[in-house]
Amino acid sequence: MLFNSIDFLLFFPAVVLAYFLWPQRVRYLWLLAASYFFYACWNAKYAVLLLFSTIVTWLTALMMERSRASGRSRLLQTASFAFCILSNLGILCLFKYFDFLLSNVNAALGLHFTKPESFSFLLPVGISFYTFQALGYVIDVRRGTIAAERNFFRYALFVSFFPQLVAGPIERASNLLPQFQKPTFFNVENVRRGLLTMAYGLFLKIVAADNLAVVVDYVFHDFATANGMRILVATILFAFQIYCDFEGYSQIAIGAARVLGVSLRQNFRQPYLATSVREFWRRWHISLTTWFKDYLYIPLGGNRRGPFRKRLNLLLVFLVSGLWHGAAWNFVLWGGANGLLLVMQDVTEKFRHRVLKALRINPASLPWRVFSVMATFVIIDATWLLFRVPGMSAVWPMAKRIMAQFNPLYFISSDFVALLGPPRQCVSIVAALAAVFATDALRMLRPGLAKRILSQPAAIRWPFYILAVFSILALGAYGKGNASPQFIYFQF
C-alpha cells in the first residue's frame, strides 16, 4: 500500500479512528494488526519473512539477557547472537543479492551456473529497513544499552510499525519501544501537526518528485541518444527527485505517526544546504548514516586507531552503504566515491584551513558559505550519476558526453525548456523546486516552521491550507487510474 494512493487515504483515517476508540491496553495490538495488513497488501506471503525476523530477534535478545543475568556461559550468548545476525543477513542476501553474487561468481571463474526456477522471487519491500531495525535492537541488548522487551506483540509492533516499515526512518528501540508502553490520548495539536507534515510530504512526492521523474526517466531510459547537456540536466534534476521522493516518504511517515501520538526521528535536515560532503552526510538519510556509524564504523575502530585506520573504516562503511542501496556495482561505486570524498576532505582539512587563512577568507562569511553550498552540491550531484545510471557500462559514456558537450548557454536554450515538458509540467517543476528551496532555507534559518504556521490566525492558516491542497491536486503528477508511482527507496 502506497502513501500516495487512494487505498491509504481510506486506510489511515480508519486506523486512527479505531485506534482511539479501542481501550488503552489493546491499542498497540490494533496497530500491530493494521501494520501487518498494510504490509500484506503488497504481498501477503512475504509477511512471513517479517514475522520470522521478529521472532528470531525477540528470542535472541531474551536469551542473551537471561543468560547474562544468570551468569551462564558467554558461549551460549555469542552463539545465539551469531545465529540471529547470520540468519537475518542470510535472508537479506538470499532475496536481494543472490543474482548479483551468482553473476559475479560466474564472471570471475568463467562458470555458467544458472539460477533454479524456485529461486525466482520478488525483492520483499522494506526488507533492508526492517532487518537493520531489528538487528540494531539485538545489538543494543547485547551491549546492555537497553533491556530486552518481554512482550512479543509490543516488540513485533516496533519492527513492523506501518508508517516507517518499508522505507524508514530506521528507528531505535530506545526511542520507539517506550512510546508503545505509554498510554496514548487523542491530541488535537498532534493531529494538526501530523496532517500538516503529511501534506508537505505528499507535496514533495506528488508535485516535486513525480514531475521530476518524468524528465529524469525520459533521459536516462534513452541515454544512448541524449546529448551531454540533457544528461547533465537530468542528473541535476535527479538529485532533487531522489531528495523529494525520500524526504516526502519520511515526512508522511513522521506525520502519520504524529497523529497516532508517536514521535519518529527526522531523516533529513536540508542536505543540499550543506557546506561540505561531511556535513551533507550528517543531513542525508540520517537514520541509516547513524546506524552504520554506531553498528559498523565504531566497532571497526572508528577514529580511535589513528588516521589511516579511520579513513579505511570510512571507506569500508560507504562501500557497504552503497551495496545496501542496491545489488549492482554502480551502487558500490557510488558508495566508494562518497567514501573517497570524505577521506579526501579529512586528509586535506588542515591544508584547506591554512589556505583560507592565508587568503584572509572567513569560512563563516555568507559569500563563502554560499560558494561552499554550491561546490558541495556539484560534487554530490556528480556521484548521483553513478547512483542513477542503468548499469556500469553507461557510466563513462554518459560522463564523457557531459564533459565533451558542456555548454552553460544550454540553460537558456529552447531545448532546455522543451526538456522540462509541456507548460503544466514545467510550471509544476519550477514551482515545486522554488517551494522546496524556500522551505529548506526557512527551516534552517528559523527552526519550528510548522509550529509557526499552526500558530497563525485562522484567516492566514486556512488560505494556506487551501493553497497547499490545491497545489497538490493541480500540479501533481498522477498515474493511470488508481496507480501511483512508488517511492524510489521501496526497491532498497
Catalytic residues: 325
Retrieve residue 63's grid coordinates: 536469551
Q: How far apart are CA 10 and CA 1, in angstroms?
A: 11
Query: 243's torsion region: left (phi>0), alpha (psi -120 to 50) or beta?
Result: alpha
Q: State the burial class of residue 143 (Cβ atoms within 10 Å of its Cβ: 0-12, 13-18, 19+).
A: exposed
Query: Exposed e or buried b for every residue in 407-442, given b needs 16+ CB within 10 A?
Result: eeebeeeeeeeebbbeeebbebbebbbebbeeebee
Under 8 Å between Cβ of 148 and 64: yes
CA distance 183 to 427: 46
Residue from 389, 393, 327 nearest 99 by CA: 327
Q: How far apart are CA 492 and CA 167, in angstroms?
A: 8
Contacting residues for 239 by C-beta, under 8 A, at least 6 apart: 272, 377, 380, 381, 384
For residue 293, what is the DSSP state?
I
Cell 505528499, residue located? 202
- Euclidean distance between CA atoms 101 and 95, whole angstroms: 11
Q: Locate 271 and state its grid cell.
A: 542536505
Q: 30 burial class (0-12, 13-18, 19+ CB within 10 angstroms)?
A: middle
User: What is the H or E stretch that residue 274 is in?
Assistant: none
Cell triple for residue 173? 528501540
Query: Cell triple for residue 386?
Result: 553513478
Q: How far apart are the C-alpha atoms of 83 and 104, rounded to whole Å?
A: 26
